[in-house]
Amino acid sequence: MDNLRGIVLLVFAMACFAIEDLFIKTASAEVPSGQILALLGVGGTIFFGVWTVASGQRLFQPAALHRTVILRNLGEMIGTISFVTAITTSALSTSTAIFQAAPLATTLAAAVFLKEPVGWRRWSAIVVGFIGVMLIIRPGSQAFEPASLFALGAVIGLAGRDVATRVLPKEVSTLAISCYAFAVVAIAGVFLQVVADQPITSMSAASWRDVGLALLFSLGGYYSLTAAMRIGEMGVIMPFRYTRLIFAMIIGLTFFNERPDALTYVGAAIIITSGLYTLFRERKQRLRRLSTPSGTR
């Protein structure tokens, strides 16, 4: 039952994030991306902060200063800045396709930092998956978009976030974690505004509407994702993360007339296939370890 709930929550989160991207990209035609991020971060911090307190939970806890919480927030900051920059400066479908390499990067990071066992098959799948990323980016060719490299930054940052989520202290609630994450997004927006020298822009009613709807779907998606990762088995629920690409391609075609070329589809298919195989092997190895009697090999 937990796995089914996790799958439903994850698919819902992916749909929410794809719709959020639509409104962020639409708003970015008039409003700097740093300003959009700051507004989303402040709105999310207030929402989850009030919810946490109303639920009788402590908002500020000693465990909030645990290194895994700090590392998670750092990954959130890097990943969010990178991905928002990617979708506002390049095609939504292309950026999202590259972003599908995040589960592969998560497996890689878990092997390096959490010492999780990864055999040669999964290492091979990771390498093949990143070959798929290169097919989409195509550095050095005429089709190369430098802005697409920001999507790689998002892969790195959010993979770090997801690995840290696996080892968060149990006493830190999902609501508090979500509040911290949005506070970091607000800081990231201000940082981007300053570094990119983006002026604060007055916003039209349409821009406020787009940012408000982006916040609404971001809140639903973020909480659903965090909850899914904490209640479901990673090997079971994570394949459904790839539904985000389906949602993004439908939105890209419908609202932005994006038509990815054949190599982009091939690269995306390679990434997804590699990711699914990696998740399959992770689940198989986990089941094998659970079925092996203690004290035997």
Determine the Cα–Cα distance for residues 15 and 61; give it in Å rounded to an integer: 32
Q: What is the mean pLDDT of residues 189-199?
A: 90
Confidence grade of residue 291 (pLDDT, cut at 50, 70, 90): low
The pTM for the full model equals 0.86
Q: What angle do CA 61, 66, 71 make, to 5 degrees?
A: 125
| Residue of 149, 164, 159 whose CA lies nearest to 66 | 164
Residue 93: the pLDDT is 92
Of 288 and 174, the structure prediction assigns the larger pLDDT to 174
Provide the token pair at 235. 């090997």
Confidence grade of residue 202 (pLDDT, cut at 50, 70, 90): very high
Give per-residue pLDDT as tens, 66-99. Answer: 888 899 999 999 999 999 999 999 999 999 999 9
Q: At what angle do helices 2-27 and 243-256 cross, to 10 degrees?
A: 30
As a dihedral over the C-alpha atoms of residue 172, residue 175, residue 179, residue 182, rounded to 10 degrees, the angle is 110
Give per-residue pLDDT as tens, 15-61. Answer: 999 999 999 999 999 999 999 999 999 999 999 999 999 998 888 87
Residue 273: the pLDDT is 93
Confidence grade of residue 295 (pLDDT, cut at 50, 70, 90): very low
Q: What is the mean pLDDT of residues 273-280?
A: 86
Residue 297: the pLDDT is 35
Residue 59: the pLDDT is 82
Return the CA Rg of the chain: 19
Which of the given ranges, 61-65, 158-162, 251-255, 276-280, has the highest pLDDT on average? 251-255
Determine the Cα–Cα distance for residues 57 and 45; give it in Å rounded to an integer: 15
The average confidence (pLDDT) of the chain is: 88
Domain boundaries, the chain: 1-289
Q: Is pLDDT at 293 greater than 60 in this prediction?
A: no
Torsional sign, CA 103, 10, 22, 38: negative
Give per-residue pLDDT as tens, 207-244. Answer: 999 999 999 999 888 888 878 877 877 767 878 888 99
By CB atoms closer than 10 A (0-12, 13-18, 19+), residue 215 is: buried
Give per-residue pLDDT as tens, 130-166. Answer: 999 999 998 877 778 888 899 999 999 989 998 898 8
CB 44 within 8 A of CB 222: yes
- Helix and strand totals (H; E) in the chain: 12, 0
